[in-house]
Amino acid sequence: MFKYIHYVLLITCAVFVCSIQDLHSQNSGPDSFNFQKNGISKPHALATHPFGILFGTLPHNFKRSPSSSKQFDFQVDSGNIWGQPVTVLVPTSSNDRERMKEILFYSRTYNFDAAISPHQTYSFQYDGVVKNFRLAFSLPIQERNEITISSRAFLLTKGTFPFSILTGDQFIEFFHSNIAGGEDPFGRRIRGLDNASIRYTDRNGQSMNIGSGSFVFSGIDLAYYHYPTWFNQKNISLNFGTHLGVNLSPYNSSMDLGISAAGIKVLNPKGKGKWQLGLGINLLRRGFIQFNKNQIDLGTSSYYGSFDGHFEYARKNKKGAYHSIGLGYRIQTPYNNKKEEDYYVPDVPERIARWHEAARHLYKFPSYWSLIYSFTKKTELSIYLQQDMLVNNTPDIQTGVRLRVPISL
């Protein structure tokens, strides 16, 4: 039943939008409902990492000013995740750590005796297509401030056709076999296509098991943005944000805090088509308050920093609508302490293809490119395609669509 939920939500949202526009057109002039394109059109396109979907990872805000009216955003994302089962031993002895540093990570298990050497242990695996759902409401306050309240949830699916086209295992392995990547480079075919599960046991023995068809309401986020006018005369717009995330899933019951800063530069203010460059940085303190004493440890990093750079071209047509296309790059600090990468000991009974990636990627900087197209007039519709060029597989490929609707209340 849950695999149909995102289509039901999309249809409901479309009916809602049409109802609002019809009602407003009966009571307003023909152009009163239009809203101008505000900065760079960028959906909440954060990667569907099995850890990141459970807490309030921060987006980057590339708007030049608060919204001209109240707005609703509805967004659906689809991302393929794949990491084979792996068990990781983390030595706690300084002597063992120094010794492991001299050995390549895939050979460390043959040189580490778990029976006599003190260590911590965790295990991780994930497979499937994650469908993210986000509903947000933006409220402008005076001329330079804005509050955004959003909810987030996800559904873990097998990603079968036609519910997942570009992000399903079948398409990805067809692409690898016939276009680029080679035959089954990650061992999906050997272990089986079209499966779905996320299984994780932390160093304290706390376990998480999310199966196919599981729908998880992960939390609510609150953001406050201030838009100063310090450099507006130079066609540079800034915004600063404070963020509060309340995580409400069975796997993460906690509160996150964050801050953000972003700047947008209009490169050719007198041109018919607008070229804009956006740069943003964020800092998140995960688990600032824990509501559960037996909280699952979603990585050993408590602080997450990220950088986002985005370049967009937008052009207004004769009917007053904007077409825009943008290319963005985002990079984030790792989920686990980077120092552990020097001495952690991954192990699996069968070493199939890239068997170690579920553990190895916890120590890497997640990074990805996003290609975004947006159409802005009475509403704004954005679609995007996302890929990690380092082949991080969290996600392997991700797509999304966002509908932004101005409202009158």
What's the pLDDT score for residue 294? 85
Q: What is the dihedral of CA 62, 65, 66, 71, to 10 degrees?
A: -60
**Rounded CA gap, 133 and 136, in Å?**
10
**Tokens describing residue 344:** 């952690």
Say if CB 164 and CB 129 are below 8 A apart.
Answer: yes
Percentage of the chain beyond pLDDT 70 is 90
**Rounded CA gap, 91 and 187, in Å?**
28
Single pTM value for the model? 0.85
Say if CB 201 and CB 126 are below 8 A apart.
Answer: no
At 60-98, the pLDDT tens digits run 899 999 988 899 999 999 999 999 999 999 999 999 999
Which of the four pLDDT bands, split at 50, 70 and 90, describes residue 358? very high
**Tokens describing residue 334:** 């790792």
What's the pLDDT score for residue 268? 86
At 105-125, the pLDDT tens digits run 999 999 999 999 999 999 999
What's the pLDDT score for residue 8? 39
Say if CB 341 and CB 363 are below 8 A apart.
Answer: yes
Q: What are phi and psi of 109, to 5 degrees?
A: -60, -25
Residue 408, pLDDT above cutoff 80: no
Mean pLDDT confidence for 344-349: 93
Say if CB 82 and CB 354 are below 8 A apart.
Answer: no
What's the pLDDT score for residue 409? 58
Kindly list the structural domains of the chain, giving each domain's residue range(s) and its CATH number in brackets, ordered by start: 2-407 (2.40.160.40)
Which of the four pLDDT bands, split at 50, 70 and 90, describes residue 23? very low
What's the pLDDT score for residue 272? 81
DSSP 189: H
Q: Where does residue 183 rank: exposed (0-12), middle (13-18), buried (19+ CB within 10 A)?
A: exposed
Mean pLDDT confidence for 174-188: 87
What's the pLDDT score for residue 29? 34
At 299-310, the pLDDT tens digits run 999 999 999 999
Q: CA nearest 304: which of 323, 326, 332?
A: 332
